[in-house]
Structure 1
Amino acid sequence: MAGSGEMTGEKSEHTPELHHQHRDVSGGWLRPAVFGAMDGLVSNFALIAGIAGGKQDPKIVLLAGLAGLAAGAFSMAAGEYISVASQSELALAEIEIERLELARNPVAEQRELAGVFEARGVDPETAAEVARQLSRNPEGALEVHSKEELGVSPGDLPSPLLAAGSSFLSFAVGALLPVLPYLLGASTLWPAAAVAALGLFAAGALVSRVTTRAWWFGGSRQLLFGAAAAAITYGVGALIGTNGL
């Protein structure tokens, strides 16, 4: 048994450490998905509340909700695609400039890379050797230079299509929630308000799972902002409806 314990201890001492894995934070889907769902739910519920506040027929409220869903989803997708594509194109243009510099002035770029390592605390001799070895592979050197100088990697840019698709689907799902009661025959705003409130809290709590916030904080914060937006829009709709404008 003693020998077994010694072997176990020796094995654990020399067993490589199991490192944890990080979640993908650069894929380009989380921000548009979260923003799309929140925006769809808040904006469409606020739109419905404004129309309902004006004492409009439930069919008109339903039509407004469906129109808001379609218009918002396509608008969000188009906006995300253009913004992410433009950002990626700018990054690629800067990466191409770096590629040309590596081809024209390899020695200067190697010294620049060594300087980066030195600034991080590596001794000059080691920094120069690391920079020399990295510079032997042009594509590898380009990736290191791009990451250090631009903060991006050539093969790790966000996808415009992924961002647009995530934004479209998440907005549509969020915008559909307050419309569902009217699709099922509701004639007042209260069922839609209840569904929207649950959706807002659940969405905020769900987002907290990929952040450091507590679930109740994320849910309450989202519910508060969504309720405020809907209340203001309802008041505007009621005021306009009352005055017959």
Structure 2
Amino acid sequence: MSAEMDSAAAQHVAELHRHHRDVTGGWLRPAVFGVMDGLVSNASLIAGVVGSGASGGTVAVAGLAGLAAGAFSMATGEYTSVRSQTEMTLAEIDVERREIARNPEAEQRELAMVYQARGLTPELAAEVARQLHRHDEIAWRVHAREELGVDPDDLPSPWVAAGSSFVAFALGALLPVLPFLFGLGSVTAAVALTAAGLFVTGALVARLTGRSLLFGGARQLLLGAAAAAVTYGIGHLVGTAIG
């Protein structure tokens, strides 16, 4: 009967939390950063090349080169970063497991102190720690969550981070160069498409984080426009000097 009650309680807790979004899966940050970086960096690159007086074909080649280089760079960086972080986390978890095996009483008291600091009475905190330390597999997982602030069963995947970053950057970087790929030599279409992309992605991020859609879109549009304006000016100055 006790096992059935525990199972039912666990299922009830899972149902209560089922409506929450996944905020630890490792995909949101690189995807958001990737699409924003793709838009801003490639739009800035194209603005600089256009400012130098280059032809539409040259702008298209530069834009595609920027897309490919940036996407691979972002994916490599995200993979290495998340992989290193995960390896360091696993190493710290292993240290915690060894400490629990070597000195379980001290680790149990340490866990009790953690719960006591969070508002539990000393007696209740000690009892909770004692109950959790009845099973080693539960104990080290609880210590990892409480002391290291990580969920050992839900560590971010470096492949997910790399893949989402690569795809997101490529999609963002494609927008500014699309008009030139279709033979439109004017920068007007690229500016309009890039501005729309910046506003929409900023608004989507704001929706995910519960912020104002208008503010999120306008903020991203302003930042991207500033970056493109600066690189356009640099390209114009350099192009004039070389020419």
Shorter-chain TM-score above 0.5:
yes
Structure 2 counterpart of 1:133, one-letter code: Q
Largest Rg, 1 or 2: 1
Structure 1 counterpart of 2:35, one-letter code: A
Within 5 A, what are the aligned runs for 1:156-171?
A: 156-171=154-169
Secondary structure of the corresponding residue to residue 27 of structure 1 = coil
Structure 1 counterpart of 2:48, one-letter code: G
Secondary structure of the corresponding residue to residue 88 of structure 2 = helix
CA-to-aligned-CA distance 1:150-187 (integer Å, 9 cap, x gap): 11121121110000000000000000001111111111
Secondary structure of the corresponding residue to residue 28 of structure 1 = coil
CA-to-aligned-CA distance 1:12-32 (integer Å, 9 cap, x gap): xxxx99846211111110000
Q: Does 1:221 align with 2:219?
A: yes
- Residue 113 of structure 1 is matched in structure 2 by 111
Which of 80, 83, 86 in structure 1 is aligned with 2:81? 83
CA-to-aligned-CA distance 1:32-61 (integer Å, 9 cap, x gap): 000000000000010001001011011000
State the Cα distance separating 1:212 from its structure 2 match. Answer: 2.6
- Residue 191 of structure 1 is matched in structure 2 by 189
TM, length-normalised to structure 2: 0.92
Structure 1 counterpart of 2:102, one-letter code: R
State the Cα distance separating 1:188 from its structure 2 match. Answer: 1.7
The root-mean-square deviation of aligned C-alpha atoms, in Å, is 1.4
- Residue 176 of structure 1 is matched in structure 2 by 174
Structure 1 counterpart of 2:224, one-letter code: G
TM, length-normalised to structure 1: 0.91
- Residue 136 of structure 2 is matched in structure 1 by 138
Structure 2 counterpart of 1:186, one-letter code: L
Q: Does 1:149 align with 2:133?
A: no
Within 5 A, what are the aligned runs for 1:204-243?
A: 204-243=202-241
Unaligned residue ranges in structure 1 (runs of 5+)? 1-15
- Residue 5 of structure 2 is matched in structure 1 by none
CA-to-aligned-CA distance 1:186-216 (integer Å, 9 cap, x gap): 1121110110000000000011111131000
Equivalent-residue separation in structure 2 for 1:194 and 1:41 (angstroms): 12
Secondary structure of the corresponding residue to residue 61 of structure 2 = helix
Structure 1 stretches of at least 4 aligned residues deviating more than 6 Å after TM superposition:
none
Secondary structure of the corresponding residue to residue 121 of structure 1 = coil
- Residue 28 of structure 2 is matched in structure 1 by 30
Unaligned residue ranges in structure 2 (runs of 5+)? 1-11
CA-to-aligned-CA distance 1:130-160 (integer Å, 9 cap, x gap): 1111001111111111111111121121110
Equivalent-residue separation in structure 1 for 2:227 and 2:110 (angstroms): 52
Identity among equivalent pairs (%):
65
Equivalent-residue separation in structure 2 for 1:128 and 1:196 (angstroms): 58
Equivalent-residue separation in structure 1 for 2:241 and 2:43 (angstroms): 23
